[in-house]
Structure 1
Amino acid sequence: MTELHLWLRHEVRSTERRTPIVPLDARRLVESGVTLTVEESAQRIFPAEEYEAVGCRIALSGSWVSAPADTVVLGLKELPDDPAELTHRHIYFGHAYKQQPGAKDLLHRFAAGGGALLDLEYLVDDSGRRLAAFGFWAGYLGAALAVLQHRGRLVAPLTPTSKDELDALLQPAPGEPEFTALVIGALGRSGRGARLALLTAGVEATPWDLEETRDLDRPVLLAHDVVVNAVLATTPVPPFLREQDLNDPARALRTLCDVTVDVGSPLNVLPIYDRTTDWTAPVRRLREDPPLDLIAIDNLPSLLPRESSTDFSSALLPQLLEFETGGPWGRCIDRFRQASRELDIAEGEFHHD
């Protein structure tokens, strides 16, 4: 591997406390010869001092913009609006390849600067399986919040916690009414996490996966009290719920958590809402009579920042240790160029081949 300089940036989203690389794995990178610069960040679950102690360089928040051109900038969520021209290779979840709002503007910035997006969602093996993902914890937290909301115990604003504290909250109180739950996408990472959280809460969920969604039985879906969607569609499929379904007088569904949060995408399997919820206002009332509450938070794992970061970092570490222009990272570059062509964006002078 050629000498790699990674730059772990501060996250501009105030509720983002996760990190793609934890200090323990940062040590492995440094020992392997990687130069790792870590920006100061008051909100990151691991303080900069822990990175400095394992041999990382420390830099000011946001200073990645002036890093050397061959630096690879590493993050998780969206970039700030400036600079207008992105000159580096950036590794993060870009959400720009499925016609999401702002996608074209973002890819134009890369084209203008000659940089590239290596989207973590598309870091996959030869069979197309994701190599690093937060899915399990997203599912776990999505189901946990749905349980707490359904039981009238969800407190806003949300604050980060630990798994032990969350699991204690999930325990049913004596005499608390039972309810039914459905997990769609039950066999994937997110679905497995959702089912475990529901079991922790004393609820054995109905599991739906490919077979059940191929010929969707909406009346059965609507007969469940709580539904957790963990399906991320990659090709067009009929929506799981439509506006008219919410008005069905037989609807028992009261609490819906969309873990996937694919709002704005034409592939969205729940096109019944047009904006996400957040930590300040985690629940949105979609219907009043009978009530239907929606939870659609797009950074759920940040509510368990230590556990989710540790898991993700352990999966990403081997890929960073073998960072090269071919293999999984090469596929990321190919997907970036394909997405740019699909949006008729003239490719910039990409100078990192």
Structure 2
Amino acid sequence: MSDRIHLWMRHEARPTERRAPLTPEDAARLVGAGVRITVEESQQRAFPLAAYAAAGCATAPTASWHEQAPDTAHVLGLKELPSGPDAPALRHRHIYFAHAYKGQAGAGALLSRFTAGGGALLDLEYLTDEAGRRVAAFGYWAGYVGAALAVLHHRGALTTPLRPTDRASLDALLASGGTAGDPTTALVVGALGRSGRGACDALERAGLAPTRWDLPETRSLDRAALLAHDLMVNTVLTTTPVAPFLAKADLDDPARRLSVLSDVTCDVTSDCNVLPVYDETTTWTEPVRTLRAEAPRLDLIAIDNLPSLLPVEASTAFSAELAPHLARLGGRDGVWDRALTTYRTAAEAQEAPLDH
């Protein structure tokens, strides 16, 4: 049996997912380094299948990985796998954002599919270096788009349904809608991280000077100051429960000025959710949900695949970070060892009997 790395990049089941974890340019470099790559056909992916074929990748029909991918292949994707009562056990090693380690809805059923099939989850969110820093992330573009949508909605310029675009077009919208001396105040929580930096850049492109909060401000959070802003963009990602930044009672504070809440993190249903004021994400078709209709009105934007609205830019940046690690699959990169250990720990906890 050959020990050559085989990546199988699947079509994304979510209709609004336009990104790719690997671009044709980076795929060509991996193929040149000896990696075997199969790419499924996808009509919605921002990069055409022909570009991957030209890069030296094999091609396969849409959603064929379960039946056709060899057991030794690593199945590469981004968002959720098809699920449901008839969803098969998972025998491959899957690389994607599974959202299965923080008590999210459906996490137990997903982990059981892996243990039943003998496969493993190498979650993209948990690919970290020795210092615990993520090695590849869409955070910057998630923050950028999340803040941009908040501004456009606040200005009455957000059109629906949302459609993929490019940065130049989005920046033109942000720059054209402002006015001199715009009094709008905006707060970014988690401003020093990837997502926070993206959110701050988008707000500045829109002509706003964001208030920037990070760990010192959230350790002793000034909720009155938070509520005094017009816009809030949450970019905080935590792996352990912390005190919520907002509770439902805060939304009824008569002094609240906050009118648009953009939750980039979208940890809804998780014990780590810092904004337990809603229980369902919003969508491209209905990107805004009203949390309080009475004055002052409060609207929520909570889309969990924001970077897909800038699919080419987001994919290009992410692929550049991920590709070097994909070249070292198979035990030659501690990033993958740590991800596998994280999966095994979660799977064992899932299977362990409860103490009585």
Question: Same fold by TM-score, threshold 0.5 exceeded?
Answer: yes
CA contact (8 A) 1:181 1:227 kept: yes
Structure 1, unmatched stretches of 5+, are 347-353
How far does residue 226 in structure 1 lie from its aligned partner after superposition? 0.3
Q: Tell me what 2:249 maps to.
A: 244
How far does residue 324 in structure 1 lie from its aligned partner after superposition? 2.4
Q: Tell me what 2:94 maps to.
A: 90
How far does residue 293 in structure 1 lie from its aligned partner after superposition? 0.4
Query: Which of 320, 330, 348 does residue 341 from structure 1 map onto?
Result: 348
What is the rounded CA distance, in whole Å, between the counterparts of 1:2 and 1:189 in structure 2? 35
What is the rounded CA distance, in whole Å, between the counterparts of 1:206 and 1:177 in structure 2? 15
Query: Which of 266, 271, 276 does residue 271 from structure 2 map onto?
Result: 266
What is the rounded CA distance, in whole Å, between the counterparts of 1:335 and 1:233 in structure 2? 16
Q: Tell me what 1:118 maps to.
A: 122
How far does residue 322 in structure 1 lie from its aligned partner after superposition? 1.3
CA contact (8 A) 1:183 1:207 kept: yes
CA contact (8 A) 2:290 2:299 kept: yes
What is the rounded CA distance, in whole Å, between the counterparts of 1:148 and 1:176 in structure 2? 17
Q: Tell me what 1:189 maps to.
A: 194
Query: Which of 188, 209, 215 does residue 210 from structure 1 map onto?
Result: 215
1:142-181 alpha-carbon deviations (Å, 9 max, x no partner): 0000000111111110000000000010013446843000
What is the rounded CA distance, in whole Å, between the counterparts of 1:345 and 1:65 in structure 2? 28
Counterpart secondary structure, 1:269: coil
Query: Which stretch of the first structure deviates more once superposed, 319-328 or 104-113?
Result: 319-328
What is the rounded CA distance, in whole Å, between the counterparts of 2:152 and 2:130 in structure 1? 39
- 5 Å-filtered alignment, 1:1-353, equals 2-66=3-67, 67-81=69-83, 83-171=87-175, 172-174=177-179, 177-289=182-294, 290-325=296-331, 327-344=334-351
CA contact (8 A) 2:23 2:315 kept: yes
How far does residue 73 in structure 1 lie from its aligned partner after superposition? 0.3
CA contact (8 A) 2:190 2:214 kept: yes
2:159 partner letter: V
What is the rounded CA distance, in whole Å, between the counterparts of 2:308 and 2:100 in structure 1? 21
1:201-249 alpha-carbon deviations (Å, 9 max, x no partner): 0001000000000000000000000000000112221100001100000
CA contact (8 A) 2:182 2:208 kept: no
1:12-52 alpha-carbon deviations (Å, 9 max, x no partner): 00000000000000001110111100000000000100000
What is the rounded CA distance, in whole Å, between the counterparts of 1:83 and 1:288 in structure 2? 40
What is the rounded CA distance, in whole Å, between the counterparts of 2:131 and 2:254 in structure 1? 44
2:97 partner letter: F
Structure 2, unmatched stretches of 5+, are none
CA contact (8 A) 1:324 1:330 kept: no
CA contact (8 A) 2:152 2:158 kept: yes
Q: Tell me what 1:349 maps to.
A: none
How far does residue 83 in structure 1 lie from its aligned partner after superposition? 4.0
1:280 partner letter: T
Q: TM-score, normalised by structure 1?
A: 0.96
What is the rounded CA distance, in whole Å, between the counterparts of 2:95 and 2:271 in structure 1? 24
What is the rounded CA distance, in whole Å, between the counterparts of 2:6 and 2:330 in structure 1? 12
How far does residue 345 in structure 1 lie from its aligned partner after superposition? 5.6
1:107-127 alpha-carbon deviations (Å, 9 max, x no partner): 000011000000000000000
What is the rounded CA distance, in whole Å, between the counterparts of 1:286 and 1:54 in structure 2? 48
What is the rounded CA distance, in whole Å, between the counterparts of 1:186 and 1:173 in structure 2? 22
Q: How many residues align?
A: 346
Distance of aligned partners of 1:324 and 1:131 in 2 relative to their CA distance in 1, 3 Å threshold:
same
Structure 1 vs Structure 2 CA RMSD: 1.3
Counterpart secondary structure, 1:343: helix
CA contact (8 A) 1:111 1:345 kept: no
What is the rounded CA distance, in whole Å, between the counterparts of 1:142 and 1:242 in structure 2? 21
What is the rounded CA distance, in whole Å, between the counterparts of 1:251 and 1:90 in structure 2? 44
2:106 partner letter: G
Q: TM-score, normalised by structure 2?
A: 0.95
2:300 partner letter: L
2:123 partner letter: D
What is the rounded CA distance, in whole Å, between the counterparts of 1:135 and 1:218 in structure 2? 25
